[in-house]
Structure 1
Amino acid sequence: MIRIATVGTSVITDAFIGAATRTPGIEVAAVSSRDGAKARAYADRLGVAGAFAGLDAVLADPGIDAVYIGSPNSAHRPQVAAAIAAGKHVLVEKPAVATADEWDDLVERSRRAGVVMIEAMRTAYDPGIAAVRELLGSLGVLRRASLHYAKRSSRYDAVLAGETPNIFDPAMGGGALADLGVYGVHAAVLLFGEPVGITASSVTIATGADGAGLAVLQYPGLIVDVGYSKITTAARPSEIQGEDATLLIDHLASPRRVTRIGSDGSESEWASDAPADVLDGEVARFVELVGGTAMPDEDQARTSATLRTLERIRRATAG
């Protein structure tokens, strides 16, 4: 049984604890927050036995095998490094760190320490994305794709009121590309590999963060546009177009309805009644890796490729 402690008390940590509760082989033994009283109240609300005041207390406990890091993006790198140094396995929320070089350094540290470290990117382990991958071969030569995730954040009202919430604070690693654009970029890397060329543009909001953006990823014979926004909401599916058929994907982060439309007008559908936006797949993969029945090399390489692509998008929008 893996005894894991959480770092951070955000909504995504709630979702992780729920997924861990449903997954065999792992137990959320404790939560942590810089404020001990807040940690205790959070633990009580979610039915977790232990509560720590700060990461150092978590890492000093020999009864904790692993940590889930769901803190603000800017805190990930030092917290992951500290956990690895303490001999703890790490599941770190997306985006794991700011750059591929930072990630590759942490991967090397984890290997030397003999611990597992992967990014908590739910799309990599979602059955809907697995269905999309299986259907790609039926589309013929791939030519176009449009992958997007746009959802107006409830915290955008605070920005309009003159505040700077963490998710819209560049100093905290916030912004639309890091929070939602990463899903489209990750899916593109997972499905098509790293692009050979990139052009991009973004909308900057009052906090200095990107509120929305569009990246065009170029592959040999294939063009993929990745759209993202935290200040507007999309009302259309993502799609992948081949010469023989097109796939419509209802929700990029966790597809539950994937429709294949043939060039002859025929239609077929993959559908699942599983809840959307659950983290069960990533938690199950983490348990598998910590148990030693698989190696994390592919997972880690995919994160590195995604981070390289995100960096190229940022450079393109800055230019």
Structure 2
Amino acid sequence: MINLVTIGSSVITVAFARAVDEVEGIRVAVAYSRDAERARAFADEIGAAGSSADLDAVLADPEIHAVYVGSPNGVHAAQVRQALRAGKHVLVEKPAVATSAEWRDLVDEARRADRVLIEGMRLAYDPGTAAIRDLLPSLGVLRRASLHYQKRSSRYDDVLAGRQVNIFDPALGGGALADLGVYGVHAAVLLFGRPDAVRAASVPIASGADGAGILLLEYPGLVVDVAYSKITNSDRPSEIQGEEATLSIDEIVSARRLTRRGIDGSVSEQEVPGGRHSLRGEVARFVDLIRTGAPADEDQERTFLTLETMERARAALAG
């Protein structure tokens, strides 16, 4: 049994703990928070047997084998490094770290320690994404794609009221590109590879972070736009357009309805089984990598290219 400690007590950590409950061979043994009372309350909430406000002590425990890092983005790197140096496997919530160079350093650290390190990018391990990849050859030569994830955060009301919150605090790595745009970028990297060129535009908000934006990713013969927002909503589906057919995707983060429309007028629909926004796939992948000792090179390279693409977008925004 893989005993895991969670770092962070937000909604995403609750979702992660629920996913752990669905995967054999792993359990949340300890919930960590800097505040002991909060740690105990959160442990009760997610069904963890133990709680702690002493991270050093938890990481020194030989009965703890793995760590989930779900803290604010800005502290991911330090906590991942601390866990790896303590000999623990690590699954870190997206975005893993701030820069591609920082990620490379952590990957090297994991390899030296012979530990597993992957990013919790749920769409990479979702059956909907696998179904999209299977359908791509049927579209013919790919020419256009539009990947969207735009969901207004309830915490934006705090920003409008003049209060600073972690997810909109640039000092903690917050903002719409880091939180939601990363999904579209990761999907583009997974489906199409590294873009040749990256252009970008964004909407700044009062906290100093970006509230919404769009990236234009250029590939040989293919143009992809990635739209994201944490201050507005959209139910518009994503699309991938080929010369033979267009694929409509109900939601790129958790695809469950795929519609292929051929240039000959044919229409076919595919329903992908599975719950919405499940983190089960990433947990199962993490467990499999630990059990088998298989390399995580492909997983780590996708994270690297995603971070690199977002860095190129920020450089484009800076002019």
For the residue of structure 2 that corresponds to 1:137, the secondary structure is helix
Is it true that 1:175 corresponds to 2:167 in the alignment? no
User: In the alignment, what sits opposite 1:237?
Assistant: 237
1:131 corresponds to which residue? 131
Matches within 5 A, 1:1-12: 1-12=1-12
- Equivalent residue runs for 1:136-147 within 5 Å: 136-147=136-147
Question: Could you tell me which amino acid in structure 1 is paired with residue 282 of structure 2?
Answer: E
Aligned to 1:313: 313
Shift of 1:293: 5.1
| Conserved? CA contact 2:148–2:236, under 8 Å | no
- Please give the alpha-carbon distance, in whole angstroms, between the structure 2 residues aligned to 1:279 and 1:155: 23
Are the aligned partners of 1:175 and 1:210 in contact in 2 as well (CA < 8 Å)?
A: yes
> Counterparts in 2 of 1:190-201, with a 5 A limit?
190-201=190-201
Q: Is the 8 A contact 1:35 1:54 kept in 2?
A: no
Percent identical residues: 65
Residue 275 of structure 1 deviates from its aligned partner by 1.2
Whether the 8 Å contact between 2:151 and 2:231 is mirrored in structure 1 is yes
Cα displacement (A) at 1:272: 2.5
Residue 102 of structure 2 corresponds to residue 105 of structure 1: no
Q: CA deviation at 1:57?
A: 2.4
1:19-168 alignment, distance < 5 Å: 19-168=19-168
Q: Is the 8 A contact 2:33 2:52 kept in 1?
A: yes
State the one-letter code of the partner of 2:243. E
Q: 56-65 vs 96-105, which deviates more?
A: 56-65
Give 1:101 deviation, angstroms.
0.4
Give CA-to-partner distance per residue, 1:52-108, whole Å, 9 cap, x none.
104222212111000000000001000000000000000000000011100000000
User: Which ranges of structure 1 fall in alignment gaps of 5 or more residues?
Assistant: none
- Whole-angstrom distance in 1 between the partners of 2:113 and 2:273: 40
- Corresponding residue for 1:272? 272
Post-superposition Cα deviations, 1:13-55, rounded to whole Å, max 9, x if no partner, equal 0000000000011111111000011000111122211101042
The offset of 1:294, in angstroms, is: 2.6
SS at match of 1:291: helix
Residue 299 (structure 1) shift: 0.4
Corresponding residue of 1:283? 283
Q: Which stretch shows the higher mean deviation, 294-303 or 130-139? A: 294-303
Runs in 1 of length 4+ with deviation above 3 angstroms? none
1:160 CA displacement = 0.4
Tell me the distance in 2 between the aligned counterparts of 1:175 and 1:216: 18
2:285, 2:47 → 1: CA distance? 24
CA distance in 1, matches of 2:252, 2:31: 30
Contact 1:198/1:316, CA 8 A, preserved across alignment: yes
Letter in 2 for 1:69: V
The Cα RMSD (Å) is 0.8
Number of aligned pairs?
A: 319
Q: Match of 2:184, as an amino acid? A: G
Report how far residue 308 of structure 1 moved.
Answer: 0.4
- Paired with 2:11 and 2:87, the residues of 1 have a C-alpha distance of 27
What is the one-letter code of the residue matched to 2:68? Y
Write the deviation string for residues 245-292 of structure 1: whole angstroms up to 9, x where unpaired: 000010111101111111112111121242111100000000000012
